A and B are shown apart, each in its own frame.
Chain A
Amino acid sequence: MGLKEYTYTEKIDTRSGFGVGLAENGDLNDNVVALCADLTGSLKMNAFKDAHPERFFQIGIAEANMMGIAAGMTIGGKIPFTGTFANFSTGRVYDQIRQSIAYSHKNVKICASHAGITLGEDGATHQILEDLGLMKMLPGMTVINTCDFEQTRKATHAIAAHNGPVYLRFGRPAVPNFTNDLPFKIGKGILLQEGIDVTLVATGHLVWEALESAKSLHNQGISAEVINIHTIKPLDDALILQSAKKTGAVVSCEEHNYLGGLGESIARVLAEQHPTPQAFVATQDTFGESGTPAQLMEKYGLNAAAIVRKAKEVLAKKA
């Protein structure tokens, strides 16, 4: 089976896709408002701010207040997008999100940059690897982790049109922008590569790595199917099950703790409906540390080489 070729013209950060998507939505819909906790530049929110200053709210370094204000702003029809780092978008304000946004079912879009270990040199205080778990456990919360600039831009449009609370996770490093021709629909995974031996289910920055690992596996005679799950919740159970039934082996790939992340969601689906050997490319219940993104992805086993290793491990367990 031949490999589908994915190409890209540039490497660019996913947060820039959010910035462009937010500004576009600001032009399209007067009800879109943006709130930021003193990280306007880091979140690429300047284009929105410059175009719509009356709808941009600088909250200051007060994330709890930002979440409450966002919840309140929905009353009267606004669609608030909050912007800060993933760490300060989730763990720091979990109870505010839980009560004022999730339980109250407010139409707030929690947009979180610098997620995961690829934040790099700032170190573990800022590198949250637990946010997907925190957010997916909240009833009614939609959870999305995008893989490149274009997917993030499209996701920003999709969540603006979606009625209900959303957590949108993206990041800092420049990564290949390759999804220009791919559709984006909340809750709908994307089959990137067809294969028969093993299924690689990837999210976020690990998607490109999974495509690279599929090439490497192909050269070693292993046919890998690659699925991009951008929506962690609601999960595209059908696409994952269909592939697992075909290949009989699954590797989940994510820049997140193996506890609470995409991998556990997949394991639940498989355990309930089609028990299948699974390996986890994820951090192993640890905090991160300072370093370059590439160094950290290597050390914590989050790159293409790590996916190849895990694929072989899980293949050995196939019945």
Chain B
Amino acid sequence: MASIESIQTLLPQVRRDILRMVHQVNSGHPGGSLGCAEFFVALYQHVMDYSTDFSMDGKNEDLFFLSNGHISPVFYSVLARSGFFPVSELATFRKLNSRLQGHPTTHEGLPGIRIASGSLGQGLSVAIGAAETKKLNNDKYLVYSLHGDGELQEGQNWEAIMYAAGKGIDNLISTIDYNKQQIDGSTDDVLPLGDVSAKLEAFGWNVINVEKGNDVAAILAGFEAAKAASGKQKPVAILLHTVMGNGVDYMMHTHAWHGKAPNDEQLAIGLAQNEETLGDY
């Protein structure tokens, strides 16, 4: 388990990875990736108990499922920096014959990935299935998942939200990246989500709000509360209030960088704001 200090050291490096990956192929999704960098680093460096000797079945270890697969840059960076595959492989992101596809997939056998995601709204059902299997296997480890807030517009989520509460899936901690932005604009402009916290609670979930979703200490406190709430016949949600594009000033507080790569000049500005701490890939 990494210290908060070492997590803080890793963070600017992950942001550099994200920026350099999407810049190199002039495509990909930096905004949501940056907004969730602290979440991923905390999850993989401190919260989850897992083996980097990857097995698809993942028995007797914690599992993570990314539902909003477009934020693959942060997922790939943190998986590589956590030891799942060589950091140098980040240079193949979105290129021909790469294991690092635009959206995560099991198809090319990249260690750390257990389901394809990208078509939105499917990850919660998958995470619930994995949690059901852990129960059948008497496997006491937990299942974690991450979802975009705009993704909640997909109806399948609400089928899954109803199921998880109705069937007492209490070995699942699902986080919603609550940045209130999506491709076409703010969630309020595109399709208002309403009171997400109240909706989840009304469905029967235990909801933990993390107001400072880009603060590592606050995220870790949220996970501690979530773990403490697990095992009590209710699924647990973390509503993670994040800022899209966090850590690169011109990308923050806007949906503009949801799916757009920086040019050379913009890359330089972003890199200047994030120190190379562990060596670029």
Contacts and interface: CB of A to CB of B under 8 A. Distances in A.
B212 interface: no
Contact of B137 (A64, A76, A95, A99): A76
Contacts of A77: 57, 59, 133, 137
B231 interface: no
A70 B105 contact: no
Nearest to A63: B159
Contact of B139 (A60, A76, A99, A103): A76
A96 interface: yes
A72 B136 contact: no
Given A65-B125, A95-B122, 5 more contacts: A72-B129, A74-B129, A75-B57, A96-B125, A100-B122
Interface stretch (B32-40, B112-120, B238-246, B247-255): B112-120
Contacts of B196: none
Interface residues of B, number: 38
A69 interface: yes
Interface residues on A, range: 20 to 34
Contacts of B116: 99-100, 103-104
Given A99-B117, A100-B115, A78 B136 contact: yes
A69 B139 CA distance: 17
A33 interface: yes
B108 to A, nearest CB: 11
B122 to A, nearest CB: 5
B158 to A, nearest CB: 9
Interface of A: 33, 54-55, 57, 59-60, 62, 64-78, 80, 95-96, 98-100, 103-106
List 7 A-B pairs, minimum CB-CB distance, nearest first.
A72-B129, A68-B125, A76-B133, A62-B159, A65-B159, A69-B129, A72-B126
A99 B129 contact: no
Contacts of B131: 72
B127 to A, nearest CB: 6
A10 to B, nearest CB: 37
A99 B130 contact: no
Contacts of A106: 115
A55 B136 CA distance: 8
B106 A104 contact: yes
Contacts of A76: 57-59, 130, 133-134, 136-137, 139
A49 to B, nearest CB: 15
A20 to B, nearest CB: 23
B128 A68 contact: yes
Interface of B: 56-59, 63, 65, 105-107, 114-119, 122-134, 136-137, 139, 155-156, 159-160, 162-163, 166
A73 B130 contact: yes
A100 B126 contact: yes
A104 B122 CA distance: 12
Contact of A75 (B114, B123, B125): B114
Contact of B126 (A55, A57, A69): A69
A205 B196 CA distance: 49
A59 B107 contact: no
Contacts of A67: 125
Contact of B162 (A62, A72, A74, A95): A62
B63 A75 contact: yes
A75 B137 CA distance: 11
Contacts of A55: 136
A60 B163 contact: yes
Contacts of A100: 115-116, 122, 125-126
A76 B131 CA distance: 9
17 contacts: A60-B162, A60-B163, A62-B160, A62-B163, A65-B125, A65-B159, A68-B156, A73-B130, A73-B132, A77-B57, A95-B119, A99-B117, A103-B105, A103-B107, A103-B116, A104-B115, A106-B115
Contacts of A59: 163
B107 A68 contact: no
Contact of B133 (A54, A65, A75, A96): A75
Find the residue from A68, A75, A99, A106 having the highest chain B CB count within 10 A: A75
A64 B156 contact: yes
B107 A72 contact: no
Contacts of A73: 129-130, 132-133
A137 B117 CA distance: 20
A5 to B, nearest CB: 48
